[in-house]
Structure 1
Amino acid sequence: MKTIVSKLQERYRYSRIVLKEMVKTDFKLRYQGSFLGIAWSVLKPLMLFCVMYVVFVKFLKFSDGTPTFPLVLLLGIGLWNFFAEATNMGLSAIVGRGDILRKIHFPNYIIVVSATVGALISLAINMCVVLVFCIFSRVQFTWDVLWLPLNFIEFYALALGTALLLAALNVYFRDMQHIWEVLMQVFFYATPIIYPLSLVTEKTGNPIFAKVMLLSPPAQIIQDIRHNLIAPETTPTIWTQVHNWGLRSIPVVITFFILWLGIHIFRKYSQKFAEVL
């Protein structure tokens, strides 16, 4: 067993070193020249939360009627920002590093992975902020928090698979960036982030629409994290709303299919990236 582990470590040693350095460089360059620096990784989601809280909760009355909804909203914004940042940065990663690909030989996938890892670091910082708010708000944590590592693994798998797929497509079809911007807006409003899922049932008068929305991987994952961390009693998930195991597994299967597809497409066309760029 130790021999296998040592062989794997030796095989991917160069890749790990390159990945580590690229993540460090990207994270430093992201806030280089700004007065507040890394603090923007916290301030941006907080500022966005304040705007959405005032507009959608105070004025439009989007709420589930529970005191934890502001925390649920803050968590949802932080999670969505991670997905948006990981996929947008991943999409343009290969095209933006074309000069490096032509000069240095290393596995191309590292460029995309480094972009998603950078977004993952920002998510970790945001989660620390959410936890501080939860503690001060006296959120009663339950044993459901033990499911959170699996939730975040699934979320990262979705983001990485999507980023790899978009990065490969963007090399050959530069319109992907504009198409993805539109799709992200559609996905944002189709996911219960700024409004509770109960509002969908209330407005439509039919719970089937809320259940269909939960079949979307981002919606399923975000609702699961909210449920397991903050509000297990008031946050509906696909596991509590849908009783058919076949339907329950759909978003999870879609997530790992996207990961497999992204890896497959990226590996298939990555050898020609330098020539096309």
Structure 2
Amino acid sequence: MNNQDIASQQELVIEAGRTERQYWKDLWRYRELLYFLSWRDILVRYKQTAIGISWALIRPFLTMLVLTLVFGKLAKLSSGGAPYPILVFAGLLPWQFFSNALSECSNSLIINTNLISKVYFPRLIVPVSAVVVSFVDFMISGMILLGLMAWYNFVPSWRILTLPLFISIAFAASIGIGLWLAALNVEYRDFRYIVPFLVQFGIYISPVGFSSSIVPEQWRLLYSVNPMVCVIDGFRWAILGGESTLYWPGFTLSVVLVALSFVSGIWYFRKMEKTFADVI
């Protein structure tokens, strides 16, 4: 090897990120890694289970039965003319997607420590892949909703066409808040204990087993600070039709908060991303 070859090798520099401008281009370049991480997590989640991916159907179905019994049969809350199991599942479906996404997203960086500390790629791919996996479960669980509609001979109205809008809001809320929790969990490991509590507590302050219309009018706007209120109400408005209505001031407030959490989540994650490899 001559001196010229040695000199040329010494000029080779491996960069963690070529430029700030190219970060978003790198996301597209590493899109196959997003697919690989998502597919890996789907396989690992149900590995060595007797019934495999059927758990994505059993868990929400049993939860729906419990909530229907408690709120529909015992508390005898109104369903607005729709079958109560459908009302419950129309709220449970987006909630389980959101709660699973937060749980998986918050731990995603810690679980992939070896990958993050050794190989460069846009770290944003890791928590986003966790949300994608939760979305797969969401799509599978949606089969239960179709089955309930068939069982009760329930035919949705034209509003069902707006459902992708509310799914997009749920997706944005999951990513925005999930990015905050993922970055904070790297810096402060206390969040591994806080997140399960927040998820467990959240189902009680979200209108999953009941309609948000039972909340007194003077508290509706404050109640809508919870971003899942607008998502669940939107799902029910799209799926149930009929007497189901949207509280537009609260819906607008929730959408604004979701947009802020999405933008700020990306900003904070990008701010902390450079330190992940060192802290982990």
**Quick check: which has more Rg, 1 or 2?**
2
Q: Which residue of 2 aligns with 1:214?
A: 224
SS at match of 2:275: helix
Work out whether 1:267 is the aligned partner of 2:267.
no
Q: What are the residue-to-residue correspondences of 1:155-166 with 2, within 5 Å?
A: 155-166=170-181
Letter in 1 for 2:253: I
For the pair 1:249 / 2:252, whether they are aligned, the reply is yes
Deviation of 1:158 (Å): 0.5
Structure 2 stretches lacking a partner, 5+ long: 1-21
Q: TM-score, normalised by structure 2?
A: 0.85
User: How many angstroms does 1:51 deviate by?
Assistant: 2.0
Aligned to 2:32: 17
Instruction: Report whether the alignment pairs 1:173 with 2:158.
Output: no
Check 1:9–1:251 CA distance in 2 against 1; reply closer, same or farther (3 A cut). closer
* Seq. identity, %: 27
Question: Are positions 1:93 and 2:108 aligned together?
Answer: yes
1:119-138 aligned at under 5 Å gives the runs 119-138=134-153
* TM-fit CA distance, 1:267: 0.5
Q: Distance in 2 between matches of 1:10 and 1:276?
A: 26
Which region of structure 1 is more displaced relative to structure 2, 186-195 or 264-273? 186-195
Q: Distance in 1 between matches of 2:26 and 2:221?
A: 45
Partner of 1:233: 242
Output one character per residue of 1:200-238: Cα deviation in whole Å (capped at 9) or x when no partner: 34xxxxx222343234321011111111112x2332322
Taking the TM superposition and a 5 Å limit, the aligned residue runs for 1:23-102 are 23-64=38-79, 66-102=81-117
Q: 1:255 to 1:208 in 2, by over 3 A?
A: same
Matched residue type, 1:219: V
Structure 1 residue 10, shift from structure 2 partner: 7.8
Q: Is this contact kept in 1: 2:86–2:148, CA < 8 A?
A: yes
Root mean square deviation of aligned Cα: 2.2
Relative distance call for 1:92 and 1:9 in structure 2 (3 A) is: closer
